[in-house]
Amino acid sequence: MLDDFMMRATLAGLGVACAAAPLGSFVVWRRMAYFGDATAHAAVLGVALSLALQISVFAGAMAVALAMALTVTLLSGRGYAMDTLLGVLAHSALAFGLVAVSFLSGIRIDLMAYLFGDILAVSRTDLAVIWGGAAVVVGLIGWRWSGLLTSTLNEDLAYASGIDPRREKLILTLALAITVAVAIKVVGVLLIAAMLIIPAAAARPLSRTPEGMALTAAVIGAASAVIGLRAAYVFDTPAGPSIVCVAALIFAGTSVMSSVLRVG
């Protein structure tokens, strides 16, 4: 069954959707969209370092994404606005990554595959990494769900409940780095943030509880992966962008439906 490239691509898309859904909900609640984008951009540098050092692309991308997220966390509030800091670090990391790739002699690299994803080329090993990473992310979020939710709602309430908001943010940062590392092969660096944000944003009008939003986001992400892959196969379009386009159409649909119900 896994010899069929479309089956492997579908399973890879479902794995990324499972990882991105609960994490994306927290990204939306905490207004961390640009933070996720910056972490994803840094992954290109991780890819270049991985190829130069001949180590796993997953390990290199995760290490650099985690270093980027920790750097932003440590430097925030030290004289620079958060959006300025994220903009500088995100574009600098992407530029250094692209320059580093150009120095890799004797190594063939399809840069477009890392920028926009190459889900149709996912192997069995890639599937194991994607689903393993997704399991870790879901496990982390599930383990710290109450603490993450409390610190997201109100940091003072979190302290009063004996919860350290900085520790919870660190867990989110780790989960984000893992998600970026597993998603880079599926949707690419430039579209990872979209898969984090769009399904969660689309689920928001349909949900009454935080748990409901995370589950609905997972369903929307999974549907986007399956429908987007089918559309890419039928219309001969890029797979990663097609998945994001479907997610964007679902977001537009839920937004319109929410507006109509509000007016009615």
Nearest to 232 by CA among 13, 3, 2, 1: 13
Supply the DSSP symbol for 204. Answer: G
- Structural domains of the chain ordered from first start: 5-192 (1.10.3470.10)
Question: Which residues contact residue 247 at a Cβ distance below 8 angstroms, ignoring those fewer than 6 apart?
Answer: 194, 195, 198, 199, 202, 220, 221, 224, 228
Predicted structure pTM score: 0.89
Q: How far apart are CA 80 and CA 82, in angstroms?
A: 6
Q: How far apart are CA 32 and CA 167, in angstroms?
A: 16
Rounded-to-10 torsion of CA 59, 19, 199, 238: 50
Q: Which residue has the tokens 């660096």?
A: 189
Tell me if 151 sits within 8 A of 158, measured CB to CB. yes
One pLDDT digit (tens) per residue for the chain, 264 residues: 556 888 999 999 999 999 998 899 998 998 887 777 888 888 888 888 888 888 888 888 888 888 887 787 777 666 667 777 778 888 888 888 888 877 877 666 677 777 788 888 888 888 999 999 999 999 999 999 999 999 998 888 889 989 998 888 888 888 988 898 888 888 888 788 889 999 999 999 999 899 999 999 999 999 999 999 999 999 999 998 999 999 999 999 999 988 887 765
Tell me if 75 sits within 8 A of 85, measured CB to CB. yes
**Tokens matching residue 33:** 């969209």
By the 10 Å C-beta count (0-12 exposed, 13-18 middle, 19+ buried), 103 is classed as exposed
DSSP characters for 41-59? Answer: HHHHHHHHHHHHHT--HHH
